[in-house]
Structure 1
Amino acid sequence: MRPLLILATILIAGFAVPAHAQMPCMDRQKLVTNLGAKYSETKQGWGIGSNQYLYEVFSSPNGTWTFIVTAPGGPTCLVMSGQNWDGSREPNQPKNAAQTLDPM
């Protein structure tokens, strides 16, 4: 379930990337340090998009989460953040649920 949540977040954020002027952007290391210091958030997952942007999800033990995107050679921007993150996998769910579906 966690990979599906991350994938869904990445797909949603992919549409928001061109709106850099509306997102707070700064040096990646500074942003990551701030997430750790202020919210106790650590990286939970990452991926490289077809546009070569780096997409990352951070979360904390108390449920806060942040999704950031870094342009190649460019700034890192905060895309979205929230509360009540649950990165756990659903109980008894196979790792590759798509293979277990019955196509009829």
Structure 2
Amino acid sequence: MIRSSLAPLAALAALAAAAASPASAQSACGPREQLAKLLSDRYKEDPVGMGLSQPGQVLEVFASSNGSWTMVMTMPDGKACMIAAGENWEMMTKLKGNPI
């Protein structure tokens, strides 16, 4: 089953619209906990990696066993935004002494 990358953005935008002004309702952002639940429930995506970005921001990659993935940026206040999504995610590991 191929997932449209726009479907989660639309779902999250609707979620954000419930408590946001019209300008911010157009973005795919909302509370991190709700976004993580949406990705888990609807797409079976769970966190597979994370790293620090700008001061206080956390970048996470959520992925499923069927290959769908979503990148999420979380701000210090807990607001999270989906920044990319796609298919065919593959986990890669770095072997000691062999740069990828």
TM-score, normalised via structure 1 length: 0.64
TM-score, normalised via structure 2 length: 0.66
Deviation at 1:21, TM superposition (A): 8.3
Match of 1:79 among 72, 80, 83: 83
Q: Report the CA distance shift for 1:96/1:35 in structure 2 as closer, same or farther (over 3 A).
A: farther
For these two proteins, the number of residue pairs brought into alignment is: 76
Give every structure 1 segment of 4 or more consecutive aligned residues whose post-TM-superposition deviation is greater than 6 Å: none
**Contact 2:47/2:62 (<8 A) preserved:** yes
Higher relative contact order, chain-length normalized (CA < 8 Å, sep 6+): 1
Structure 1: gaps spanning 5 or more residues: 1-19, 99-104
> For 2:54 and 2:97, how far apart are their aligned partners in 1?
23
Paired-residue identity, %: 34
Structure 2: gaps spanning 5 or more residues: 1-23
RMSD: 2.2
